[in-house]
Amino acid sequence: MISEYNNIASGRPVQHPNQFRPAPGSGEAAAVKVFQEACGRTMMVELIVNDTSGRMAMMTGSSGPPLDYGERVKQAVADLDKAIPDEHKMAGMLG
């Protein structure tokens, strides 16, 4: 989603339209909205994948021990997290 920012801001077709439901529109405001949503999703996936306390499972209605997503997934989440400044992740969560 983040890679589509320039396409949306410039009014060009997005490369992966199936990622956007409904369509994001075009222009700077639409691009910022998509960027903020991607930032918020990054923060949520980080919380889900790295939770060892069971709190996320409880919040989502799951039962049993926390899932272990494995090192490959955890590294992918860490890499994604590094790509987005913290203040943008929080803005995405707040909408």
pLDDT (tens digit per residue) in 52-74: 887 877 777 877 777 888 999 99
Question: Is residue 50 packed enough to be buried (19+ CB in 10 Å), middle (13-18) or exposed (0-12)?
Answer: middle
| Cα–Cα distance measured from residue 1 to residue 36, given in angstroms and rounded to the nearest whole number | 10
CA angle, residues 60, 66, 69, in degrees to nearest 5: 105
- At 64 the pLDDT is 72
- At 72 the pLDDT is 95
- At 2 the pLDDT is 62
pTM equals 0.64
| Owning domain of residue 16 | 2-94
Low-confidence ranges of the chain (pLDDT < 50): none
As for how many domains the chain has, the answer is 1
- At 30 the pLDDT is 86
Mean pLDDT of the chain: 80
- At 22 the pLDDT is 78
